[in-house]
Amino acid sequence: MTILILLALSMAAAAMTMTAAAAASFSIELIHRDSPKSPFYNHSATSLDRARAAIYRSAHQARRIAARAQRRGGIEPSDVVSKVVPDSFEYLMELRLGTPPFSILAIADTGSDLIWTNCVPCTKCYKQTAPLFDPASSSSYRTLPCDSNPCKALPHSPCGAGGTCEYQYAYADGSKIDGVLGTEDLTFDSSAGTPVVISNIAFGCNSQSSGVFSGRTAGLAGLGASPVSLASQLVPSLDKKYFSYCLVPMSDAQASSKVIFGSAGVVAGDKVTTPMTVEDSFFVLRLEEIIVDGAGTVPVPASATGLKTGNIIIDSGTTVNYLPTGVLSSLVQEVSRVVSLPNATDPDRLLPLCFTVAGEADRQKLPFITFKFAGEASVRLSPTSMFMQEANQVVCLAVADTGSDTPILGNVAQQNLHVGYDLDVKEVSFASADCATL
């Protein structure tokens, strides 16, 4: 995790700090919730416990994404559904907010928009273990007016006293947040080794938050495509409008994933690239077919429920993949044809195809599976990226049925892939990588 740097108010501070205009590149550590670095780490949980919990969270995340993608018409205040279900997240990141920098541990999500944290005075906030952010202690804090562009980008933003932009978010589980939209400085460690300060980042300063939020987190950092997300607000200030991430395998408990902003994050080497569109802050791709090594090819319909410009969302906050019923049925058939292992049953009945795998020799019988996207972008995924262990000696295809809902490319499939988002030319690149050493 990037560590908190307390900048002294002295002449040396100005010399050591880069401005946004001079910023080159920087990265932020992505901490998986099951990592020993995470406050959610449970040392008594087994790898099977963690895998099954991740699959359950995936189901909640997929339903949340489908509801958003299919929502039509105007949004009334009572209908506002936030961009994340509080306990369905997979990754955390540390943000250093304000002047001097104040560290908060936030949920990171590529399908979310608003950056927010609990602030002093928080009259009705959930109890968090870390101190609250106090805007009065920061010399760079400013509130935003109702006619500002960030305020207009929110789904519901009533005007407060003096024309201050306020927000009200409701969650699918009944949790709520209310607060004031402001701007702050964010401090990062650059690739050049000196701190980078990005000014005027819009964020939500909660005065109320209630529900099932965990006290071990202090906010949320959206990495989606909305104008108020962290990613969208950072990249225009950098040397290249680009960000990427590289997710280490879930089995690697010691290494951390990272998200990289600017030119240092550009995917290089033997890469493939596919066009990208943006819908409701989601990054959307067009999946053309799925190829199972040693078997056949599964065509994928060009359209998907709730999506207008593509047929699959790429999301780092969902663990497993989700495909339409017909596509999944054909994929199961093709995988079954080539795998000579006894069939097993998913004890939770969430994944459709499982095998009895007694050892490494059996694992070698699981096939590579290629996802072919528009633009001849073929991403060949190893068995460790397409199969998950669900029980003792039971390994399942990490794909679930989305029914009539929205297909999703999840984070298990993205393990050890360097995934880059070029926001200038609107494309996504993939390259195989050892994410633990990137």
As annotated, the active-site residues are 109, 315
Residue environment code for 71-98, b if the CB has 16+ CB neighbours within 10 A, otherwise e: eeeeeeeeebbbbbbbbbbbbbbbbbbb
Q: What are phi and psi of 160, to 5 degrees?
A: -95, -165
In 33-90 the beta strands, taken as DSSP E runs, fall at none
CA 66 to CA 318: how far, in whole Å? Answer: 12
Calculate Rg over the CA atoms of the chain: 22
In 353-435 the beta strands, taken as DSSP E runs, fall at 354-356, 369-373, 377-381, 387-391, 394-397, 399-403, 408-409, 417-422, 427-432
Handedness of CA 41, 89, 429, 154 (dihedral sign): negative
The residue count of the chain comes to 438
In 153-275 the beta strands, taken as DSSP E runs, fall at 166-170, 176-189, 195-210, 219-222, 242-246, 257-262, 272-275
In 75-194 the beta strands, taken as DSSP E runs, fall at 91-97, 102-109, 116-118, 142-143, 166-170, 176-189
Sheet containing strand 287-292, edge to edge, reads 297-299, 287-292, 369-373, 377-381
CA 20 to CA 322: how far, in whole Å? Answer: 39
CB within 8 Å of 355: residues ≥ 6 apart: 339, 341, 342, 343, 344, 362, 366, 394, 395, 396
CA 363 to CA 402: how far, in whole Å? Answer: 27
CA 353 to CA 355: how far, in whole Å? Answer: 7
Q: Which long-range contacts (CB under 8 A, 24 or more apart) does 161-167 make?
A: 167/114, 167/204
CA 427 to CA 410: how far, in whole Å? Answer: 18
> Would you give the distance in Å from CA 173 to the centre of its chain?
20
Q: Which residues pair with 246 in a beta bridge?
A: 258, 418
